[in-house]
């Protein structure tokens, strides 16, 4: 038999063998022979993810590759997993959600690394149809524990609400989030930005957002929506709505003050300050005529906390309208000795602690603030002073992305029972065990994880699900 005839026979036998194997594969395009599977497993085990992804260019369907990847993900030594996730992303619509992969991933039937599992689950949920996603939400975390994971819950909600017009989508989301702890936690902001993309931020939606999260006394969604107004929209989007509120409440000191305090943190750029200057030029004379000079002082004081260079400009505008405002120098803020004196003398009411915490952070945030907290503690008549520990909790609540404040509380939890409850609330509310901010501080993250695990194991399981 000549060489050409031999090669023809060999090729024929290979095709017959493949056809026999494919009898057991519902979709023949998903068949991967044993030798190729072994080769792919070796690539996965060695972390050579790009080589796996390249197999798509060698005739292997992304759906076939996806199945090999998830079934053998226990081999993965490390991240990042982007090349593997790209393979899953290239699967035809409906494959991940309807092939059985989604069910097994969400039920933890595959042995997947935690970070990779969340990524795969998110892709699977995004591939599902809205009715399936809504049905999963209605089943709740008691029947579907993966919904305890805020990221997967958000992904599910995104898929369920995708067909709705913008305002209805926002209203439905608001109905769901009221019962979901951590729905607005910072680790979910990227997913929320996808849900509320540019097309979803219509004037009607922004009006509703301003009413729900800026005009109300307290809102868990306020930090996220302030971020949206500050980072994704023009300054006028927020300041024009504040101005509209001022127009209807020219004699309402408390109402105007509340709105100002909610908008002030977003005034950080020159563009935002210029827009704000236009607003106060129009309203400063009206407030002065209505004997609301104290509002001008509140505005300048708040600006000074955030952007001192803008406070002077605002003070000039108010003075031109007849409202005299003194701009405080940073040296006027209470130092360690003064704070210790106030705590020992009982001169710090609970309602003033938030303000005092802001003053402390403004004075010391660049000067080892935890060291200065320890200095205060040494000077106290009682290390168990409840007002002092409420003060420290205010610091951690306001600056939860700065781990040392939280760690300081954990290190002193034995001094006050209130500390334990507060730390657990801060961790849960902000979903800190998944926070990218804490991941760059692995030692601090591990300490926070250990604390939650020891103090409330049920909460720990929920936050790590």
Percentage of residues in the chain having pLDDT higher than 90: 56
Give the separation between CA 57 and CA 176, rounded to whole angstroms. Answer: 43
Contact 180, 153 (CB under 8 A): yes
Over residues 159-185, the pLDDT tens digits come to: 999 999 999 999 999 999 988 888 898
> Residues near 390 by Cβ (< 8 Å), separated by ≥ 6?
350, 353, 418
In 162-237, beta strands by DSSP E: none
**C-alpha to C-alpha distance for 42 and 396, rounded to whole angstroms:** 46
* Number of neighbours of residue 436 by Cβ within 10 angstroms: 10
Residue linked to tokens 């930005």 = 193
398: tokens are 């306001």
104 vs 61, 82, 109, CA distance in Å?
Answer: 21, 21, 5
**pLDDT at position 253:** 94
The Cα–Cα gap between 323 and 327 comes to 13
Structure tokens at 140: 């709740």
The 10s digit of each residue's pLDDT in 256-315 is: 999 999 999 899 899 999 999 999 999 999 999 999 999 999 999 888 877 878 988 999
Give 393-449 pLDDT, tens digit per residue. 999 988 887 888 999 999 999 888 889 999 999 888 888 887 766 677 778 888 888
**pTM to 2 decimal places:** 0.73
- Residue 149, CA distances (Å) to 124, 226, 243 in order: 15, 24, 39
Here the tokens at position 50 are 């790009």
Concatenated DSSP letters of 402-425: SHHHHHHHHHTGGG-HHHHHHHHH
Residue 16 CB-density burial (10 A; 0-12 exposed, 13-18 middle, 19+ buried): exposed
Q: Give dist(CA 375, CA 366) in Å, integer.
A: 16
For residue 4, name the pLDDT band (cuts at 50, 70, 90).
low
Q: Does the structure show a pLDDT above 90 at 45?
A: yes
């Amino acid at each position: 038999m000549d060489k050409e005839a031999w090669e023809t026979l060999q090729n024929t036998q290979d095709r017959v063998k493949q056809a026999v194997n494919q009898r057991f594969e519902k979709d023949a395009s998903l068949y991967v022979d044993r030798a190729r599977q072994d080769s792919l497993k070796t690539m996965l085990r060695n972390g050579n993810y790009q080589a796996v992804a390249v197999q798509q260019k060698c005739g292997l369907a992304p759906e076939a590759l996806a199945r090999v990847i998830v079934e053998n993900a226990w081999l993965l030594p490390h991240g990042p997993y982007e090349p593997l996730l790209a393979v899953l992303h290239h699967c035809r619509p409906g494959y991940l959600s309807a092939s059985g992969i989604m069910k097994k991933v969400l039920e933890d039937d595959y042995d997947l690394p935690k970070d990779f599992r969340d990524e795969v689950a998110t892709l699977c949920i995004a591939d599902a149809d809205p009715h399936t996603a809504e049905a999963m939400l209605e089943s709740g975390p008691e029947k579907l524990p993966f919904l305890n994971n805020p990221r997967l819950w958000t992904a599910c909600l995104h898929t369920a609400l995708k067909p709705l017009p913008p305002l209805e989508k926002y209203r439905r989301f608001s109905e769901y989030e009221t019962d979901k702890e951590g729905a607005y936690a910072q680790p979910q902001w990227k997913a929320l930005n996808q849900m509320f993309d540019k097309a979803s931020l219509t004037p009607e939606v922004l009006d509703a957002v301003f009413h729900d999260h800026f005009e109300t006394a307290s809102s868990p969604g306020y930090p996220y929506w302030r971020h949206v107004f500050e980072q994704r929209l023009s300054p006028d989007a927020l300041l024009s709505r504040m101005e509209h509120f001022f127009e209807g409440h020219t004699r309402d000191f408390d109402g105007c003050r509340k709105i100002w305090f909610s908008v002030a943190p977003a005034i950080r750029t020159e563009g935002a300050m210029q827009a704000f200057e236009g607003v106060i030029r129009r309203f400063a004379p009206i407030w002065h005529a209505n004997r609301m000079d104290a509002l001008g002082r509140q505005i300048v004081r708040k600006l000074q906390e955030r952007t001192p260079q803008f406070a002077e400009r605002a003070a000039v505008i108010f003075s031109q309208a007849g409202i005299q405002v003194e701009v405080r120098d940073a040296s006027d803020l209470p130092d360690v000795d003064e704070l210790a004196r106030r705590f020992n003398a009982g001169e710090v009411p609970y309602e003033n602690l938030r303000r005092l915490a802001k003053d402390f952070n403004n004075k010391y945030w660049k000067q080892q603030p935890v060291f200065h907290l320890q200095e205060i503690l040494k000077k106290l008549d009682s290390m168990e002073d409840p007002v002092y520990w409420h003060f420290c909790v205010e610091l951690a609540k306001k600056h939860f992305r700065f781990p040392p404040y939280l760690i300081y509380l954990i290190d002193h939890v034995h001094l006050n029972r209130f500390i334990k409850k507060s730390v657990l609330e801060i961790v849960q509310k902000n979903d800190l065990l998944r926070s990218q901010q804490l991941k760059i501080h692995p030692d601090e993250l591990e300490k926070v994880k250990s604390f939650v695990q020891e103090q409330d194991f049920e909460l720990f399981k929920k936050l790590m699900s």
